[in-house]
Amino acid sequence: MNEINILDCTLRDGGYVNNWCFGKNNIDFIIKKIKNANIDYIEVGYYTEKKEYDDDYTQYNDLINLNKKLCDPNRKYIVMINYSEVDIKNIPEAHLVPNIYGIRIAFHKKNVENALKYCQLLIKKGYRIFIQPMVTMNYNYKELKYLIENVNMIKPYAFYFVDSFGTMQINDVIEKINTVDSLLNKNIILGFHSHNNLQMSYINILEFIKICSARKVIIDSSIYGIGRGAGNLNTELIANYLNDSYYKNYNIDSLLEVIDKYLLNLRKENYWGYSIEYYLSAKNNCHPNYSKYFLGKYLINMTELNQLLNMLEDDKKPYFNEEYADEIYILYRRNHNKKILIEGGEKNENSSSCTY
């Protein structure tokens, strides 16, 4: 039987809901309750030089201060770096921050070569590295094989399949995860990070567990599914399933306390969960910011949004670009107005032929 662990990313992925401003007391409370729930890994936020250190935020520019704040070397605390947001020279040696168990490195396909070199340097500094290729669905077999061959050479702690846009169906999971599982060194942990745009996170994770029956795996989730747009897999749901089916001992009540005392009110102010615009972004396999931008700037309905997203070029879909979005909208309107003129002309012609 495979060893299955949960990585809770409430304080990192959940930050897209409240701009990472949880408040110091809430951050401490959430960490305490995740610990009490016996969750295996706790992702405490982003490590980034783009923001000054502030105890109310889960974005940190200083691992030394964060290390003092966590103060528990027996817990598996994780931080994530978006590749290029932290200069490698400014990252301390791992032995200076013993409470930081590992670092996750997220990067786009265009940055594969440099991101892997960055990971290699962090491994030399003594860190356990989790490699997170964003929008992994957009890698074809040749690209995925090349990536994993290089991953096997640098021997990170974990490698992830990341469903960034929540586009995956069960058949995608079966095809892609079987490929990754066959290529990835068996000593490297395989993780899965899903988004719930198509409401498939839970069932996809069950399929992932079934496929990876012979290796150690990590499942990403967040309490109450908190996350951008449609959110993520719910920690309380997957923890409950693993308790029932894999004899785990996760304390569900401790997770429910976070929902009761913080997340219920937060969700009233900043909704996350199923939304038609995030469904359409997943359907069209594009960055969800395109949906957000079109709906925020232009007076369009959902049918028009779907048509706009369908017009995006494949190589532009993973990276949101405001100027490109405006170009697409102008083109869409031009084509739409031309269609109205043509249809209007046809109607006039038909009506005149029926006049007696």
Do both 207 and 118 map to the same domain? Answer: yes
Question: Do residue 168 and residue 300 come from a single domain?
Answer: no
Domain closes at, from 201, 235, 269: 269
* Tens digit of each residue's pLDDT (9 = 90 or more) over 180-210: 999 999 999 999 999 999 999 999 999 999 9
Interval 68-88 mean pLDDT:
93
Does the pLDDT at position 354 exceed 70?
no
> What per-residue confidence (pLDDT) applies to 343?
61
pTM: 0.90
Q: What per-residue confidence (pLDDT) applies to 1?
A: 53
| Nearest one of 101, 105, 123 to 42, comparing CA atoms | 101
Q: Kindly report, residue by residue over 256-287, the tens digit of the pLDDT.
A: 999 999 999 999 999 999 989 999 999 999 99
Query: What's the rounded Cα separation, in Å, for the pair 233 and 335?
Result: 39
269, 292, 311 — which closes off a domain? 269
Q: How do residues 321-335 score in pLDDT, each as one tens digit?
A: 999 999 999 999 988
pLDDT of residue 72: 81
pLDDT at residue 351 is higher than 70 = no
Answer yes or no: do 97 and 129 share one domain: yes
**By percentage, how much of the chain surpasses pLDDT 70?**
94
Residues 264 and 181 in one domain: yes
Same domain for 62 and 29?
A: yes
CA angle (161, 204, 33) in 5-degree steps: 80
Strands 59-60 and 77-82, by their bridges, are unpaired
Query: Cα 178 to the chain's mean position, in Å?
Result: 21
Whether the predicted pLDDT of 315 surpasses 50: yes
Q: Are residues 167 and 280 in the same domain?
A: no
- Could you tell me the end-to-end alpha-carbon distance of the chain, in angstroms, rounded to an integer? 81
99 neighbors 77 (Cβ within 8 angstroms): yes
Domain co-membership, 21 together with 164: yes
Q: Which domain holds residue 322?
A: 276-353
The pLDDT of residue 342 is 63
CA distance readout (Å), 85 to 48, 49, 56, 95, 100: 5, 6, 20, 22, 18
Comparison of pLDDT for 51 and 153, the residue scoring more? 153
CATH of the domain at 203: 3.20.20.70
DSSP string, 205-247: HHHHHHHTTTS-EEEEEBGGG-SSTT-B-BHHHHHHHHHHHH-
One domain for residues 214 and 319: no
At residue 349, the pLDDT reads 40
Q: What value does the mean pLDDT take over residues 111-119?
A: 98
**Mean pLDDT rounded to a whole number for the chain:** 93
Render pLDDT for 297-310 as a digit per residue (tens, 0 to 9).
998 999 999 999 99
Higher confidence at residue 60 or residue 344?
60
Looking at 269, 286, 313, which one is the last position of a domain?
A: 269
- Based on the domain organization, do 147 and 264 belong to the same domain? yes
Query: 104 pLDDT exceeds 80?
Result: yes
Range in 101-110, 205-214, 226-235, 339-348 with the lowest mean pLDDT: 339-348
The number of distinct structural domains making up the chain is: 2
